[in-house]
């Protein structure tokens, strides 16, 4: 048997970029779930893409991710012929290159990692695994495009609503078997930091999330 390949995309008011993100990942996975967080008008997707509308505001990305994990757990129980589940976690402005999912999951299988991503710098190098927390900001998990081994039982910490939830999952993955970075396959993040800068309150939330991360892990990477 093979592992079920899924992708979870969180979106808000970016219909054109969402279409690009879906088109890029869809050929690489078995099932795509889009969680529309209060888009106006609501997001629309192709018939074979699953869509969940969650209007909760202000946004809590950790809660949305956990809703996605729960959805995939239910879905996988109805999907025959697989022996595990990997979920690509994507922002709606993350357009993955061809072969990205296969490269990252191959690195995860080779190293036993619980999560993985590709090099943000485009550098070609062997799969590099981290199993402890550190202050290496350049070597952290890419927060807008990564893959989770859903069988490891990782959950997003909902006390961190915005920026730091991906860094928290990075640390969780390291302690659950590792976080691996594979060479090449860089994923552009077209609108990096956009909502943090334009949506009232998200900048302050980022600060609160940083404090929550520091209290939980005893340090921050930057």
Whether this prediction's pTM lies above 0.85 is answered by yes
pLDDT at 190: 87
Please report the beta strands in 179-222, taking only residues with DSSP state E, as ranges in sequence order: 179-182
Place 3 in a pLDDT band, splitting at 50, 70 and 90: very high
Peptide bond before 58: cis, by omega within 30 degrees of 0? Answer: yes
For residues 12, 13, 16, 21, the Cα torsion angle rounded to the nearest 10 degrees is: 0
pLDDT at 193: 83
Tens of pLDDT, residue by residue over 123-165, are 899 999 999 999 998 899 999 999 999 999 999 999 999 989 9
Which CATH topology does 2-217 take?
Spore Coat Polysaccharide Biosynthesis Protein SpsA; Chain A (3.90.550)
> DSSP 3-state assignment of 61?
helix
For residues 172 and 130, what is the distance between their CA atoms, to the nearest angstrom?
11
What residue segments make up the domains of the chain, in order of their start?
2-217
pLDDT at 78: 84
């Amino acid at each position: 048997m093979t592992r079920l390949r899924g992708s979870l995309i969180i979106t808000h008011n970016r219909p054109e970029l969402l279409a690009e993100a879906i088109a890029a990942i869809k050929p690489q996975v078995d099932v795509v779930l889009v969680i529309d967080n209060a888009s106006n008008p609501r997001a629309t997707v192709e018939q074979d893409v699953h869509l969940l509308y969650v209007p909760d505001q202000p946004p809590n990305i950790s809660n949305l991710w956990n809703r996605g994990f729960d959805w995939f757990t239910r879905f996988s129980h109805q999907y025959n012929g697989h022996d595990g589940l990997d979920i690509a976690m994507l922002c709606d402005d993350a357009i993955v290159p061809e072969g990205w999912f296969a490269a990252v999951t191959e690195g995860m299988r080779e190293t036993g990692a619980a999560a993985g991503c590709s090099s943000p710098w485009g550098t070609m190098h062997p799969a590099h695994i981290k199993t402890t927390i550190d202050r290496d900001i350049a070597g952290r998990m890419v927060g807008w495009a990564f893959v989770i081994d859903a069988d490891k039982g990782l959950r997003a910490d909902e006390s961190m609503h915005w920026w730091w939830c991906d860094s928290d999952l990075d640390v969780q993955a390291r302690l659950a078997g590792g976080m691996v970075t594979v060479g090449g396959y860089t994923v552009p993040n077209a609108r990096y930091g956009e909502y943090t800068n334009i949506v009232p309150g998200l900048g302050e939330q980022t600060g609160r999330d940083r404090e929550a991360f520091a209290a939980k892990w005893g340090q921050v990477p930057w």
